[in-house]
């Protein structure tokens, strides 16, 4: 055979074997890509120059060997999946070795893939156990989506390492599946989930709003609510209150409390709703001073006992001597906010002509201290000198707080709302619900301090006819009427709706509680108004004696004769006391803190509607009018205290000087005897004369 022909045949044989090898490897690479990426055409292998370019970008300072000892450049030379003429890649480059397992960068980027290496293709990408040997796709993933219409799930960082995007599609090689899109929910389905929320159900989940934050506070709140109801009932029936409070410990964290009064009792039909339904009472809709306001307290205490122990509230009541006493066991249906009567029976109640007894078992903690039940009852006796109170604690002997006064407080009268305290929406509602004939009669009858003359002036300013029917007043006219009311000059509301303690009773009660103080004073301010609601501030102060002089003053806060035991920092009373410049009254005080000294300060606010900061009634809101009145009352007591302190300083200074003079009078007598040659009798007479003169000058 011709040597040239032999050479051509040998060359063709070599090219055929190379093409066959390339085809085998191409088919295997195509299968691997199908496992990784599915049939997405956008992820097809790149052309040879692009692959070579990607290999160059992916090159790094470290070299990596692939299966069979071939370098990363060999992997990049494996071009398209179809057999064809062999091509030669550019200058041999070493594929950048992505982060190895266990390296710091691998921990930071756990989903990076290593190009090349047996058994690391699919496993490094998606955590699959599928092994790939010499996959040519390693050269294609280096070019992160360049020239791909559908985008590539891989990304190449600036350091040349290969990364996988978090939204990479799941392949058939056991990779993480893409989450299915959530089905949309229509309005009808959402509407079926809407439910009415019972007020009992709400407060059972949010009982901290009512003062049942913790076991110790829950015990105090339960007793406080029952005592408040008893005192209100006795005073409204014109009966001098006698209360018995007992606490019995059943277990380490379980107590049974009972509160009994000598009030008028409760009608049988009303007992279940009063104690088994939240927001039910007689005091919410009337404007007169009372301890209770919302109709929540005692029923909330029963609900707390029911939640923590499962035991019902037990109520025994008799309305008149000779009538049977009825005993109820009541629980609250929280979903319906309705009472459930467990038992209703007549019982013998010896020695009690009329009154009510409430018994409750609850999970609680008993402890002593400034915010304990003991402190609360002591302060209750302080603010209510007409009450006789017997207290039997779970530990120790019983305590009796005797009356300091034999007369009931002045009975407060119910008044109409003041027009300056009514908002537009309330005014519109009142216009629609009134039974008066016309707008003029409406203003005079439904509001306090609005005479017919004042009503005519308001209607004239609003441009509304006096004989117009109240129910037909349009909203625009109602707004004009509201603005005219705000500009009108109207007298302050009457104050007979208030029942302050009074300076005399405050002093008597304070002397009874702090008997050994050196100085007492009290001040009752004239009534004032906030938001159309009348209120009155009273302050009493005790100083000196056996009170500790190196501790902050003891501040007793009261609202409608009820002690406020918690949230002192959030209360308007505390703010007004701290803002007072006590240094002007010779009392030590650091900036922004409670004054230090042997002082007990009592602050009482009486109002038809006390603006508490929450339903638990523990702190008074910071209305400017209330802060001003408290501060003025405190300043008045502070001036009197300053006079007492200064007088004491003067007396001590005079006493010190007198002692000095008395010390040297005998020496003066001796000196005069020696100078004037006097006898002993004459010397004694001179000494006595000097002492008499010193005594007379001290009295002057």
Same domain, 462 and 512: no
| Among 392, 381, 395, CA closest to 259 | 392
pTM metric for this prediction: 0.67
Residue found under tokens 């070599």: 14
Same domain, 30 and 154: yes
Instruction: Answer for the pair 238, 208: CB distance below 8 angstroms, yes or no.
Output: no
Q: What is the pLDDT of residue 229?
A: 93
* CATH number for 425: 1.10.8.50
Report yes or no on 386 lying in a domain. Answer: no
Count of Cβ atoms closer than 10 Å to residue 297 Cβ: 25
Number of domains within the chain: 4
Q: What is the pLDDT of residue 174?
A: 52
Same domain, 117 and 228: no
Same domain, 253 and 362: yes
Q: What is the pLDDT of residue 176?
A: 64
Domain stops at, among 340, 372, 404? 372
Q: What is the pLDDT of residue 679?
A: 83
Q: What is the pLDDT of residue 659?
A: 77
202 three-class SS: helix
Report yes or no on 389 lying in a domain. Answer: no
Report yes or no on 362 lying in a domain. Answer: yes
* CATH number for 639: 3.30.230.10
Same domain, 591 and 628: yes
Report yes or no on 380 lying in a domain. Answer: no
For residue 117, what are its two tokens? 């290496």
Which residues, including other chains, have CB under 8 Å from residue 592's CB and lie 6 or more apart? Answer: 578
Report yes or no on 404 lying in a domain. Answer: no
Q: Is 30 left (phi over 0), alpha (psi -120 to 50) or beta?
A: alpha
Instruction: Answer for the pair 560, 514: CB distance below 8 angstroms, yes or no.
Output: no
Instruction: Answer for the pair 80, 183: CB distance below 8 angstroms, yes or no.
Output: no
Q: What is the pLDDT of residue 196?
A: 84
For residue 88, what are its two tokens? 């030669």
Same domain, 227 and 366: yes
Task: Please name the residue ranges forming H helices in 114-183.
Answer: 121-126, 137-140
Q: What is the pLDDT of residue 501?
A: 92
Same domain, 470 and 529: no
Report yes or no on 499 lying in a domain. Answer: no
Q: What is the pLDDT of residue 14?
A: 52
Angle at CA of residue 612, ends 244 and 359, nearest 5°: 25
Instruction: Answer for the pair 306, 331: CB distance below 8 angstroms, yes or no.
Output: yes
Residue found under tokens 């891989």: 154
| Among 379, 408, 688, 435, CA closest to 554 | 379
Do strands 242-251 and 388-392 pair parallel, antiparallel, or not at all (unpaired)?
Answer: parallel
**CA 630, chain centre distance (Å):** 25
For residue 346, what are its two tokens? 């007549």
* CATH number for 274: 3.30.565.10
Q: What is the largest CA-CA distance in the chain?
A: 175
Q: What is the pLDDT of residue 117?
A: 44
Same domain, 16 and 148: yes
Same domain, 342 and 443: no
| Among 127, 147, 129, 125, CA closest to 137 | 125
539 three-class SS: strand
Q: What is the pLDDT of residue 430?
A: 92
Same domain, 58 and 101: yes
Angle at CA of residue 295, ends 292 and 296, nearest 5°: 105
Report yes or no on 70 lying in a domain. Answer: yes
Question: Consecutive 10-residue runs of the chain (700 residues): their mean pLDDT?
Answer: 55 51 48 46 45 45 43 42 45 44 45 44 43 42 42 46 47 62 87 86 86 91 94 94 95 95 94 90 82 84 93 95 93 92 93 94 92 93 93 92 89 90 91 91 92 93 92 91 92 89 90 89 92 92 90 94 93 95 92 92 94 90 95 95 85 70 80 83 84 68
Report yes or no on 687 lying in a domain. Answer: no
Same domain, 524 and 593: yes
Same domain, 469 and 513: no
Domain stops at, among 438, 455, 487? 487
Q: Which domain holds residue 450?
A: 419-487
């Amino acid at each position: 055979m011709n040597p040239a022909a032999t050479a051509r045949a040998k060359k063709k044989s070599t090219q055929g074997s190379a093409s066959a090898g390339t085809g085998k490897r191409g088919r295997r690479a195509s299968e691997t890509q199908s496992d990784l990426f599915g049939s997405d055409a956008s992820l097809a292998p790149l052309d040879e120059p692009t692959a070579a370019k990607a290999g160059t970008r992916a090159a790094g300072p470290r070299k990596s060997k692939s299966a069979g000892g071939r370098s990363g450049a060999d992997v990049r030379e494996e071009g398209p999946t179809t057999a064809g003429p062999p091509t030669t890649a550019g200058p041999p480059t070493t594929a950048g070795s992505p982060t190895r397992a266990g390296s710091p960068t691998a921990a930071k980027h756990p989903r990076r893939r290593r190009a090349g290496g047996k058994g690391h293709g699919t496993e490094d990408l998606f955590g699959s156990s599928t092994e790939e040997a010499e996959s040519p796709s390693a050269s294609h993933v280096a070019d992160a989506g360049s020239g791909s219409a559908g985008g590539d799930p891989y990304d190449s960082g600036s350091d040349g390492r290969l990364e996988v995007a978090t939204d990479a599609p799941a392949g058939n090689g056991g990779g993480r599946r893409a989450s299915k899109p959530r089905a949309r929910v229509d309005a009808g389905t959402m509407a079926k989930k809407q439910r009415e929320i019972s007020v009992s159900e709400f407060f059972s989940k949010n009982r901290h709003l009512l003062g049942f934050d913790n076991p110790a506070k829950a015990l105090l709140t339960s007793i406080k609510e029952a005592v408040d109801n008893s005192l209100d009932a006795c005073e409204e029936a014109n009966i001098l209150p006698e209360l018995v409070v007992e606490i019995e410990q059943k277990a380490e964290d379980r107590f049974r409390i009972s509160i009994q009064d000598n009030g008028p009792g409760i009608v049988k039909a009303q007992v279940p709703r009063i104690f088994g339904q939240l927001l039910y009472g007689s005091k919410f809709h009337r404007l007169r001073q009372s301890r209770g306001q919302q109709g929540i307290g005692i029923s909330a205490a029963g609900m707390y006992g029911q939640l923590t122990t499962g035991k019902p509230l037990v109520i025994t009541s008799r309305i008149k001597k000779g009538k049977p006493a009825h005993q109820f066991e009541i629980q609250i249906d929280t979903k319906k906010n309705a009472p459930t009567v467990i038992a209703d029976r007549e019982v013998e109640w010896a020695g009690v002509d009329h009154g009510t007894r409430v018994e409750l078992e609850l999970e609680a903690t008993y402890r002593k201290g400034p915010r304990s039940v003991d402190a609360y009852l002591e302060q209750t006796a302080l603010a209510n000198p007409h009450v006789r109170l017997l207290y039997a604690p779970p530990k120790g002997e019983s305590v009796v707080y005797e009356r300091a006064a034999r007369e009931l407080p002045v009975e407060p009268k119910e008044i109409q709302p003041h027009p300056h305290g009514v908002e537009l929406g309330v005014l519109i509602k009142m216009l629609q619900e009134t039974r008066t004939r016309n707008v003029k009669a409406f203003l005079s009858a439904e509001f306090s301090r609005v005479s017919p003359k004042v009503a005519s002036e308001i209607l004239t300013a609003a441009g509304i006819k006096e004989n117009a029917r109240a129910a037909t007043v349009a909203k625009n006219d109602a707004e004009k009427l509201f603005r005219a009311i705000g500009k009108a000059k109207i007298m302050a509301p009457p104050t007979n709706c208030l029942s302050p303690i009074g300076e005399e009773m405050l002093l008597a009660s304070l002397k009874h509680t702090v008997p050994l103080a050196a100085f007492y004073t009290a001040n009752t301010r004239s009534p004032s108004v906030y938001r159309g609601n009348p209120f009155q501030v009273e302050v009493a102060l005790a100083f000196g004696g056996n009170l500790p002089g190196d501790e902050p003053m003891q501040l007793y806060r009261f609202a409608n004769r009820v002690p406020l035991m918690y949230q002192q920092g959030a209360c308007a009373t505390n703010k007004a006391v701290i803002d007072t410049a006590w240094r002007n009254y010779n009392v030590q005080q650091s900036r922004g803190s409670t004054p230090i000294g042997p002082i007990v300060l009592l602050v009482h606010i009486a109002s038809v509607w006390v603006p508490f900061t929450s339903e638990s009634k523990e702190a008074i809101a910071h209305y400017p009018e209330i802060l001003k009145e408290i501060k003025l009352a405190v300043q008045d007591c502070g001036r009197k205290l300053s006079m007492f302190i200064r007088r004491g300083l003067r007396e001590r200074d005079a006493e010190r000087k007198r002692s000095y003079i008395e010390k040297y009078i005998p020496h003066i007598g001796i000196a005069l005897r020696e100078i004037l040659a006097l006898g002993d009798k004459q010397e004694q007479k001179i000494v006595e004369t000097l002492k008499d003169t010193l005594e007379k000058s001290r009295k002057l």
